[in-house]
Amino acid sequence: MEVLLFGIAKDIVGKSEIRFSETDELPGSVGDLKRLLTASYPEFGKLSSLAVAVNSEYATDAVFLTKDDEIAIIPPVSGG
Amino acid sequence: MEVLLFGIAKDIVGKSEIRFSETDELPGSVGDLKRLLTASYPEFGKLSSLAVAVNSEYATDAVFLTKDDEIAIIPPVSGG
Amino acid sequence: MEKLTIEIVDHIDSANVYSELSHPQSGGICVFVGAVREFTNNEEVVALEFETYKNMALKEMEKIALEAMEKWELNKVLIRHAVGAKKVEEPVVVVGASSAHRTACFEASRFLIDTLKEKVPIWKKEIFKNKSVWVSAHP
Amino acid sequence: MEKLTIEIVDHIDSANVYSELSHPQSGGICVFVGAVREFTNNEEVVALEFETYKNMALKEMEKIALEAMEKWELNKVLIRHAVGAKKVEEPVVVVGASSAHRTACFEASRFLIDTLKEKVPIWKKEIFKNKSVWVSAHP
């Protein structure tokens, strides 16, 4: 499972992607992934908001994750 | 005294200017001018509105006219 | 750098408007272009013909621009109107403003075009196949 | 003739936007350009740097354009965002719409930029002389 990182999320983690290997315990849902991330990188808890996209669509915490999904961390957007 | 005509006012009168000669009785005010025009050309009475500009500013009926003023008939505007 | 651009021209070139309104303190630029539409009340328009009382029109356009600059914080304001015959899709009027934040330039641009249509002595004749009509002349 | 133009580009050329939105049934074209401002909270901005999650950003931009076309009667809609480093006065985003009457294109353009800023996964870093900040990241 790979998780893409953008903007400040990339700076917090220090790379543009997190890979969970076969042996890792994979987050089962969007909510699990957020909890996992915030536990490992407390800086995520200080952001104005934290969203997750699954297959390039915003996903609620309840959405299940599988290892073939394209998953991305969406910190507060600021286009325009 | 000369009165400039634009848009449909020009079509109603059939020329782009009305000249009052020295011997004519001159309209003393904007209101007088409107009454004079509408009496001579009843089509003016059918317009949505009829304004007069004196020295290129909108003028109310009470404004006095002198023969050195630049006077213009402003039929309903439709720019843009 | 002039804050105001107020013009009556024969032909409008929309390509330069952005750079005319650009300003280092402007995060937002809003532009409205009015163009000739093919149909009015289902009748095919061949062309529009614009006539103006130029002295007065320029004065009124400037008043509108200054009024907008009192109402909103604007870095630049532009009002440009074309005269003469214009065909379908040709631009006839361009108004725009630039400002630090977007609300001001949006609201100002809407005000500029609304007030122009209400007050500026410019007259538009719609030329159809078999007739022509001075717009808004009659109730 | 495409109704929608949805793009993420390296450089925005504002000169063509008018002709991209022009349409024989459009009497009004409204365009908003967002540009880099020299100062943010009195601090001098050297540049902005934009990053995007491109797949998703294009999808979200298209959703916004389609939503606008449901809400208003529009003949054409354009949303174009730049990525990479942009200096003061450079355009970073252009949105616009064309419609028979002006209210629709004004309201739609405002909706396009407001909703883009809220939903599209694009991130802006402000580069100052001595620091850089991801905009809106923190409360």
Q: Which among B50, B73, B78 is the top mutation candidate for probing chain C, defined by the most C β-carbons within 10 Å of its own β-carbon?
A: B78
pLDDT of residue A62: 98
The helix (H) or strand (E) run that includes residue D49 is strand D43-52
Q: State the total domains in chain A.
A: 1
> Residue D133: exposed, middle, or buried by beta-carbon count in 10 A (0-12, 13-18, 19+)?
middle
Instruction: Assess whether pLDDT exceeds 90 at residue D5.
Output: yes
| C137 contacts chain B (CB < 8 A) | yes
Interface of B with C (CB under 8 A): 4, 6-8, 11, 46-48, 53, 56-58, 70, 72, 74-80
Rounded Cα gap, residues C117 and D65, in angstroms:
29
CATH number at A48 reads 3.10.20.30
* Local structure of residue C38 (DSSP, 8 states): S
Does residue D139 form part of some domain? no
D109 to C16: CB separation less than 8 angstroms, yes or no? no
Taking CB atoms and an 8 Å cutoff, what residues of chain C touch B79?
Answer: 50, 52, 57, 81, 93, 116-117, 120-124
pLDDT of residue D1: 61
**Global pTM exceeds 0.90:** yes
Taking CB atoms and an 8 Å cutoff, what residues of chain D touch A48?
Answer: 136-139
Residue C75 near residue C100 (C-beta atoms within 8 A): yes
D102 to C32: CB separation less than 8 angstroms, yes or no? yes
The complex scores an ipTM of: 0.95
B78 to C123: CB separation less than 8 angstroms, yes or no? yes
Rounded Cα gap, residues A6 and A77, in angstroms:
10
pLDDT of residue B1: 87
- Give the model's confidence band at A1: pLDDT under 50 very low, under 70 low, under 90 confident, else very high: confident
C123 to B79: CB separation less than 8 angstroms, yes or no? yes
Instruction: Assess whether pLDDT exceeds 70 at residue C1.
Output: no
Does residue A18 form part of some domain? yes
Q: Which amino acid is at B63?
A: V
Contacts of C113 (CB under 8 A, 6+ apart): B80, C32, C34, C93, C95, D102
CATH number at D128 reads 3.90.1170.40
Residue B28 near residue B56 (C-beta atoms within 8 A): no
pLDDT, one tens digit per residue, over D45-100 is: 999 999 999 999 999 999 999 999 999 999 999 999 999 999 999 999 999 999 99
Q: Which among D11, D31, D94, D126 is the top mutation candidate for probing chain C, defined by the most C β-carbons within 10 Å of its own β-carbon?
A: D31
- Give the model's confidence band at B25: pLDDT under 50 very low, under 70 low, under 90 confident, else very high: confident
The position carrying tokens 């009195």 is D42
Of A4, A75, A79, the CB nearest to D137: A75
pLDDT, one tens digit per residue, over C6-65 is: 999 999 998 899 999 999 999 999 999 999 999 888 889 999 999 999 999 999 999 999
Q: State the total domains in chain C.
A: 1
Rounded Cα gap, residues C82 and C50, in angstroms:
7
Range of the domain at C86: 4-134
Range of the domain at B56: 2-74
Output the average pLDDT for chain B.
95
Output the average pLDDT for chain D.
96
Chains C and B, touching by 3 or more CB pairs within 8 angstroms: yes
Does residue B79 form part of some domain? no
Residue C9 near residue D22 (C-beta atoms within 8 A): no
pLDDT, one tens digit per residue, over A17-72 is: 999 887 778 899 999 999 999 999 999 999 999 999 999 999 999 999 998 999 99
B78 to C124: CB separation less than 8 angstroms, yes or no? yes
Does residue A28 form part of some domain? yes
Distance of CA A70 to the CA centre of its chain: 10
